[in-house]
Structure 1
Amino acid sequence: MKTCLRILWLISGILLIACGVYVLLNPAQTLIGIASLIGLAALFSGAFSLATYFTQKDELFGSKGILLDGILDVILGILLIIYPTSSLIANIFLGLMSLWVISKGAMAVYHAVLAKEFERHWYVLLIIGILLVLFGILALIKPIITMVAISVILGVFLISDGIEILGHWWMIQKFRKNIGL
């Protein structure tokens, strides 16, 4: 492995760990950053939907839905970019995400019950569904805990990924030393 790549790998691991520590120590700033990124993604998605509508509205089935989706995405994107710290927008966003998680969990429970007849490990899907429903309800009832949990999970992931990269970097250094490179 070239020296430049080894150095970049080392820097990557250190940066991931540093970012993970920052996220753990600054959960509010992390959520503001995430809100801004989601706002940017929604803005681009909305712009694409609007462009699709205005260039192909006569050829698309359900083009009015694409128009509505584009308008809503652009509005949400602008609001999240301009007001990433707005508690109203954060609460609406978290509420919608909570309802989405609850519905996904309920569907998983439903599919698990259907799969019970022919799938040996149907209970795994049931457990996942129940956990999703419980997490969604918790997110609705305790939004602050949910927001902090998101930051903690992200921080732990970044730190563990950085440690893994540094571990690989260290093993390669030992291997190179053992073979005389």
Structure 2
Amino acid sequence: MFFGRIGAFENIGKYARLFRSIRNISGMVSLLVIILFACTRLGYFELGAYQARLGQFLIYGCGIFLSFLYISLLVLLFQKPFGKKLLQPLKSVGRMSLTNYILQSVLSIAVFEGLGFYAKLDFIEVAGYCLLVIAAEIGISQWWLNRFPLGPMEWVWRRFIYGKLERVRPNEASAPSTATRA
């Protein structure tokens, strides 16, 4: 909320130094915490009963720093022409965030619980699954938003919020032409 109040996201050029500082500090703290966590997991520190608690504290404590790191990296990356081009496909995913959240939740429950893959895949396999889901979300979101102005769950959400049924119409550009050929 602080960054929104000071207008940091509206005038990123003015606050670029702040975002670079956040990136540097959160990156160093995150790296330090990850190294400490790895040392505890590898047994370099013998803390007895507190070993597991320290590991949990480090992982959960690192989350906020990683969040700041990711946000600052994305903000700074978006300031570059290459970054804008790279991040452009995520725009449609953001416009359909509720639909994508529910889609990935249902899909993951079906894959991991329904098909029995829960706790049976290693890190690389889970990472591959996540990348596949993200790629599918990007493609589906772009395809859907080329045809309709809202995602299906966003339409349902608006229906409940505004209390009236808005018809979801195809976008003008994607509607089939009614002109006859001569």
TM-score normalised to the size of structure 2?
A: 0.29
Give the structure, 1 or 2, with the largest relative contact order (CA under 8 Å, sep 6 or more). 1
Q: Which is helix-richer, 1 or 2? A: 1
Task: With the length of structure 1 as denominator, give the TM-score of the two structures.
Answer: 0.30
